[in-house]
Chain A
């Protein structure tokens, strides 16, 4: 026990006296949580819309004023010449053209009115599709409004769209759990691995290997400070999410904490295993970067796993962060409970056991 305490003290002193590490640990989560959500946004704003109005009716004016009023759309202008609007689209000054056909209002009551056509510039695919969606919604609202005024008794809306769990479709709310995970990977994965490889490079690990310290005690004394830092980071990140973005977890904090603990155990065990196979900083950095790229691209952090090809979806089952992404997002946004997520927890728990055993087995005191 005394052995463990002095080793832990050593680790804490080393972190504290490091010229860079304490600053990194403090500033890293804050910076990532504050700045990244603004940059990593897929929200589409300022979609430039031109309206080709051939109808010049109350309805078409209503549509134009709705577009004007939308916070996502900005009206470039209304014209009756389609070619002019098309020219603007080619120049890139207009993203979406809405063409309202002649006699649209008159024919609305008739069975087969001529349709409104929407032309979008889809070079930027996201902006094209999202912009079109916004325009369709805006027009639908305008039309429903017009119809209600004419026949107040009619069923008010034929279609309703409701975005559950992230009601404003705020991309930040989707991203924040993912950013937290990236922070855990870096703080609890990179740092202990680098610390071990540093001891190898400096030679101090040999002094440990020739002492009676068991590899279990040594490894644990390395990890515990970073586990504690990981929990600190979780709380800091959750506070920032609440104070800055108004995002509170819909589910239980304890479920999030349990998931985080399992994930921290997994990722630190994983990186220690990598450290055991590396003798230099370059080696460990390269190995970790390789895996972390895969984790970030394939764990559903940024892009949904469901839209990946089948083989890739199967492959993601081998990636521990995938389960934590699922846990953190569903608890945060949907309020999912532990019993609903048991499969994710079992998977994550198994990975944590596996990697830590691997880390202990691959650490050799005698070669």
Chain B
């Protein structure tokens, strides 16, 4: 834990070193999120609901996803370069260190715009009336599990590089898909698409179930969300470890 804290503080210092760029990225991300949400709110002025999905649900899904995604990229933006590092032998330097390779790699960068996401998420949770004494623990579980699933999915998408070579573009595209599907009304998806959103692209566990949890708390949903977070993190760690056995040094200095 001490190591993790030191890693996070170092990254935060590095992002804050360019103070102007840090604030520009964070503030513009808040505006960016606000505009996207505004488009949906305008849509719901015209259409009351989409199969029972209302404007309040969209505010909640933006709140949950922005908080989770913000946390994920503030704490672990290093994962964004994982496929490239695997392909180019960039893990060499981490393998010689006594700490966990995956943790080092994931925590090696922090994205300043994530603070903007985090701020947006917390404000929207407050606007939605979820930051009450009873609601705060639920928000914390939703945000932490969402961030964990985001990071775990990113590790899974990028770890494919151990087997397929340079998959940076495909891996990043998969992350975009995850984010894309997380933000739309869950009621429009059914059948095989719904199955996909609770397995390979776990948008259901990042957005839909946590929103359900915020609006209609049930222990079953809470367990499903927390269980999914633990499951995806364990799966990501396992796949990364299996991949690491196949990893070959980049011999960059040879």
Partners in one complex: no
Identify the B interface with A (CB < 8 A): none
Which of A's residues lie within 8 Å of B, judged by CB?
none
